[in-house]
Structure 1
């Protein structure tokens, strides 16, 4: 009998629906659904982020690109390989260090970046739609602090 009381006591103190991980997962699932519905190219969120980071910086080593797009080494390699197979990025040997590859956009990749930026703005707008403008600014600032 005391075990049932302890479990009830624990569940009274811990509500899953109030926990940060649970709420972040729900928000992430909502965003992923919106992303898939509104992205105009056949890209994953990590492929999208990679293309945008390359567009922002012109080119980057695969390692640096992974850090900029918040991916580990194994993940960024797979993402870059898939983007190469789609004809959106290319890799060339770094003139200063032949062991390192610089990843850059192909002409095809550069052409779709404007569309991706517009898609990204629409995706963000739709994801944040339930919030007021002031709440959106606060939410994004708080998320940036956690990241």
Structure 2
């Protein structure tokens, strides 16, 4: 068997389990059917490792047992998808912290630099006088989400 044929054969037999490196396309829809996100828009599939802690256990459980070429649709309640909004992640900031290059306009998503240098997106929820309300919860927190996935490849994490 040629190396290519063996690779193709292994890919078609590989089943998603803990430690699997998975490449997939996904479409996210809200309860009302509206599109929230999709890897297909820019044709840039997502790559993830099952069990690395970056995804919720409920989402990973829906992928277990799938293999290359499989398509599946599943719906997760808010708590199992992106979690519930945490009121401790809502901050009131002074409007003077925002400049001309990053105005505090309601609905905007702004990247805030954390002390360790990483960036955290915040949504401007309200602007009242000198006070700006910034929500650091995931934008889809509190939402029931339907995931449509297509598995493009399954391998072992390196």
TM-score over 0.5 for the pair: no
Q: Which protein is richer in helix relative to its size?
A: 1
Which has the bigger relative contact order, CA under 8 A and spacing at least 6?
A: 2
TM-score of the two chains, using structure 1 as the length reference: 0.28
The structure in which a higher percent of residues are strand is 2
